Amino acid sequence: MRFIPSFPLLACMALWLLSPVPSPADKPNIVLILADDMGWSDLGCYGSEIPTPHLDSLAAQGMLATRCYTASRCSPSRASIMTGCEPHKVDVGLLDDDSGRPGYRGRLNPDIPILPELLKKAGYRTYLSGKWHLGKVRGTYPWDRGFDRSRGLLGGAADYYKPMPDRPFGEDGKLLRPEDLPENFYMTEDITQTALAYIDDAAKSKKPFFLYVAYTAPHTPLQAPREEIEKMLPSYRGKSPHAIASKRLEKQKQLG
């Protein structure tokens, strides 16, 4: 499930972070994890039959959103997360194609500051590991919009195993070719390992950090290692979508 902050909330956060009063020790490290096109009930803590123990543990220690709304498309949701604005106001009303019309330019409005730019001014190191999908032409990439380090898919959905020539992949200011990526490349694993490396990098800097971890999973083409698929087959074999949904609902009633 995607969480979209309101603009006042983001503005208040920015004012607090830019205040000269807090010391570096008072500024929390921020890790923002985004799942792509995941159904709201697909986590164990929301009633799913899919085991998600680490996220369930975080939920048990934190807060669950029960009345949270989002844009129904990929790029608009990301635009709101990065800006705190309604997506049309920042020119990402649909996806990352430029229609030439206001609200549908397919990239973040350059006149509106986004989260990593504000956090950099507050003394943060800023990182993106994963999918961007908020601009696919020069001048609109993550390294143009406040991220100190970034690696991942710049456009929309792509093959998890075989990087596609028409889906640009970038790292730290340059575009990568499919042959630049390892032979055993798997998108989800690459995003995770990059995120962990960025945390190590941030520790060396002795600055607070903002890490945006934007997975392509579970967006189509729904690719996963064979062993992971086989683990879940018994949960679905011979069962209708209605039966699965009904079982989730019963679990949700118990959780509530």
CATH of the domain at 131: 3.40.720.10
**Residues sharing a CB contact under 8 Å with residue 38, sequence separation 6 or more, in sequence order:** 1, 218
Which one of 68, 85, 133, 219 is the catalytic residue? 133
Structural domain includes residue 61: yes
Which one of 12, 74, 88, 219 is the catalytic residue? 74
The structure tokens 């208040």 sit at: 12
Structural domain includes residue 179: yes
Is the per-residue pLDDT at 116 higher than 80?
yes
Structural domain includes residue 9: no
Is the per-residue pLDDT at 65 higher than 90?
no
Per-residue model confidence as pLDDT tens digits over 155-169: 988 999 987 778 889
Q: Is 54 a catalytic residue?
A: no
Type and span of the H or E element at 170: strand 169-171
Q: For residues 93-117, give the mean pLDDT.
A: 96
Per-residue model confidence as pLDDT tens digits over 132-156: 999 988 999 999 999 999 999 999 8
Buried b (16+ CB within 10 A) or exposed e, 175-214: ebeeeeeeeebebbebbeebbeebeeebeeeebbbbbbbb
Tokens of 109: 């409005």
Into how many domains does the chain fold? 1
Is the per-residue pLDDT at 249 higher than 90?
yes
Structural domain includes residue 105: no
Which domain, by its residues, includes 156? 28-70+113-255
Structural domain includes residue 232: yes
Is the per-residue pLDDT at 76 higher than 90?
yes
SS3 157: coil
Q: Residue 24 — very low, low, confident or very high, per pLDDT cuts 50/70/90? A: low
Structural domain includes residue 108: no
Q: Is 45 a catalytic residue?
A: no
What is the predicted pLDDT for the residue at 179?
87
